[in-house]
């Protein structure tokens, strides 16, 4: 239902903006001279081509960078979930007390990512906050004294995996607060307004109303859709069509719980289902 609502609202917005600009075009057309307000249509078309080309190049470049950020967030979420599952296996080679505690904290880490942290990403409130279970794992590991060669090897491997997991988390959350600065939004809005205003000077009462409406409507729809696409990439996390969701971490969490059940480890994580500490 959420997917349908988002798509429906986007379609309504495109239709509303197109209706406004087409109506404005037809109103201006009533008093426009035949042949438009330009005495030299070829020159006017050339200037419009420069405006449209410059805008499309700028917008296309921004969309490319925004999509790259979106893909980095998606890839970071996948990598983080994979490494976390691997750390559960590594933890089993630690001293028994440490192993059970680290395993429980890893489960809580995954639950908090799926629950609390993803909700904060969706609303852009995560900021620079760290995952509290990452800090808990650091405290647990700091108090560990590996003695055997296996435990020491697992300790070293854990440290490497922790660094990789933290890097993946950075990639996942880096676009949560929006990657496009406000001045750039202002520039895009001003250029869009200039293009729409310039289009009004092509109003020609000698042309049919349908032709004039298609002229303005097609430009409006293309620009509006591209700007909506940019808005989507600027906030990729959350519910809705195409947005990033904690699917990878949910999958890893299910795998971890299945593996622990298979090996007969009766684990009681120190948190609730959403990752809050008990």
- Is the pLDDT reported for residue 18 higher than 80? yes
User: Which residues, in sequence order, are CB contacts of 259 under 8 Å at separation 6+?
Assistant: 88
Determine which of 40-54, 68-82, 130-144 has the lowest per-residue pLDDT on average. 40-54
> What would the pLDDT profile of 240-276 be if each residue is shown by its tens digit?
777 888 999 999 999 988 888 877 777 788 898 888 8
The model's confidence at residue 47, banded by pLDDT at 50, 70 and 90, is confident
Say what percent of the chain tops pLDDT 90: 39
- Is the pLDDT reported for residue 239 higher than 80? no
> What would the pLDDT profile of 51-81 be if each residue is shown by its tens digit?
888 888 888 889 888 888 888 889 999 999 9
What is the distance between the alpha carbons of residues 184 and 197, in angstroms, rounded to a whole number? 20
Alpha-carbon distances of 182 from 178, 186, 188, rounded to whole Å = 10, 6, 10
- Is the pLDDT reported for residue 2 higher than 50? no
- Is the pLDDT reported for residue 4 higher than 60? no
Say what percent of the chain tops pLDDT 70: 97
| pTM across the whole model | 0.80
The model's confidence at residue 206, banded by pLDDT at 50, 70 and 90, is confident
Residues 26 and 209 sit within 8 Å (Cβ to Cβ): yes
> What would the pLDDT profile of 149-181 be if each residue is shown by its tens digit?
999 999 999 999 999 999 999 888 876 667 788
SS (H, E, C) the chain: CHHHHHHHHHHHHHHHHHHHHHHHHHHHHHHCCCCCCCCCHHHHHHHHHHHHHHHHHHHHHHHHHHHHHHHHHHHHHHHHHHHHHHHHHHHCCCCHHHHHHHHHHHHHHHHHHHHHHHHHHHHCCCCCCCCHHHHHHHHHHHCCCCCCHHHHHHHHHHHHHHHHHHHHHHHHHCCCCCCCCHHHHHHHHHHHHHHHHHHHCCCCCCCCHHHHHHHHHHHHHHHHHHHHHHHHHHCCECCCCCCECCHHHHHHHHHHHHHHHHCCCCCCCCECCCCCEC
What is the distance between the alpha carbons of residues 36 and 269, in angstroms, rounded to a whole number? 73
Domain spans of the chain, in order of start = 57-200+215-262
Q: What is the mean pLDDT of residues 205-215?
A: 89
The model's confidence at residue 116, banded by pLDDT at 50, 70 and 90, is confident
């Amino acid at each position: 239902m959420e997917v349908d609502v988002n798509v429906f609202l986007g379609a309504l917005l495109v239709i509303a903006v197109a209706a406004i600009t087409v109506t404005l075009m037809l109103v201006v057309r009533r008093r426009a001279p035949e042949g438009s307000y330009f005495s030299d249509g070829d020159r006017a078309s050339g200037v419009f081509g420069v405006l449209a080309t410059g805008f499309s190049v700028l917008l296309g470049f921004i969309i490319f960078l925004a999509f790259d950020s979106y893909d980095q967030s998606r890839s970071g979420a996948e990598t983080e979930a994979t490494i976390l599952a691997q750390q559960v296996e590594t933890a089993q080679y630690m001293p028994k007390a440490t192993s059970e505690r680290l395993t429980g904290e890893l489960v809580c880490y995954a639950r908090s990512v799926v629950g609390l942290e993803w909700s904060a990403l969706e609303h852009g409130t995560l900021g620079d906050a760290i995952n509290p279970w990452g800090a808990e794992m650091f405290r647990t590991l700091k108090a560990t004294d590996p003695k055997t060669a296996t435990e020491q090897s697992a300790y070293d491997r854990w440290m490497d995996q922790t660094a990789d997991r933290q890097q993946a988390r950075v990639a996942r959350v880096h676009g949560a607060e929006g990657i496009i600065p406000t001045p750039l939004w202002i520039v895009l809005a001003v250029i869009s307004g200039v293009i729409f205003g310039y289009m009004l000077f092509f109003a020609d009462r000698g042309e049919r109303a349908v032709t004039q409406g298609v002229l303005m409507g097609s430009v409006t729809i293309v620009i509006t859709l591209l700007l909506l696409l940019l808005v989507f990439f600027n906030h990729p996390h959350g519910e809705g069509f195409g947005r990033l969701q904690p699917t990878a971490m949910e999958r890893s969490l299910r795998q971890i719980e299945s593996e622990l059940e298979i090996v007969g480890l009766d684990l009681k994580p120190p948190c609730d289902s959403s990752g809050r500490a008990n």
